[in-house]
Structure 1
Amino acid sequence: MKISKKDWLFIGVIVIVLAVFYAISGEEKTKRVPVDEKHQAAYELFKKTQSKMEVDKTCPSCHFEPGGVPFPAKHPVKPKDGPMRCLFCHKLKASAAGK
């Protein structure tokens, strides 16, 4: 069986797509939620409800109040409307989350 020019082109496109996926996949750069006494309530709530949305509702009590934990300068803009989605990027540590 002979491989035609169209087949080589298709194989080349597939190789390029896979190379791009490999190049953009890398080390996870977002910080995980620390396992400490300040975040213990969040881990316990997650163990109880298994809902990241419920845990997200508790984040503003420390992170958005005046005098709370400040965000780094390069932190993405926080949404002004709708629910906070902290755990969309920041992951809970699996061993502490009961997984």
Structure 2
Amino acid sequence: MTESSGHIASGAGCRKKRKIWLLNLLFLLAGAGILFLLWLAPPASTPAMPKDEHHAPYQTGSKRAAEKHCQECHGPEMSNPLPKQHPPPYRCLFCHRRA
């Protein structure tokens, strides 16, 4: 192996190390950017499902099974209907997290 071929091999290794270092730096910057955007996100504004005796049976188990019972109280003309500006009531626990 000549000096010139050894020099070429070390130059290629240096470029590879620089590329790996650059990729690591880009990964860290992307991760920091994502964390920064999450930090700027507004707090949750949708109220959680109340933790009372009426909602207690729906705090555990399948969300889909629990959502089948929401209209019993929150349907039109029921004891506690949804406001007019409320989105369609077919995925209640998508927005209203369990307490």
Q: TM-score, normalised by structure 1?
A: 0.57
Query: Which structure has the larger Rg?
Result: 2
Asked if residue 85 in structure 1 is aligned to residue 95 in structure 2, the reply is no
Equivalent position of 1:31 in the other structure: 47
Query: Structure 1 residues 86, 10: CA separation in 2 closer, same or farther (over 3 Å shift)?
Result: same
Q: Root-mean-square deviation (CA), in Å?
A: 3.1
- Structure 1 residue 69: deviation in Å? 2.9
Which residue does 2:21 correspond to in 1?
Answer: 8
> Residues 41 and 14 from structure 1, CA distance in 2 versus in 1: closer, same or farther, beyond 3 angstroms?
same
User: How many equivalent residue pairs?
Assistant: 81
- Structure 1's unaligned 5+ residue stretches are 94-99
C-alpha distance in 2, partners of 1:6/1:66? 66
The two structures have a TM-score, normalised by structure 2, of: 0.57
Aligned-pair CA distance for 1:33: 0.8
**Percentage identity across paired residues of the two chains:** 27
Larger relative contact order (C-alpha < 8 A, sep ≥ 6)? 1
In structure 2, relative to structure 1, the CA distance for the partners of 1:43 and 1:18 (3 Å cut) is same
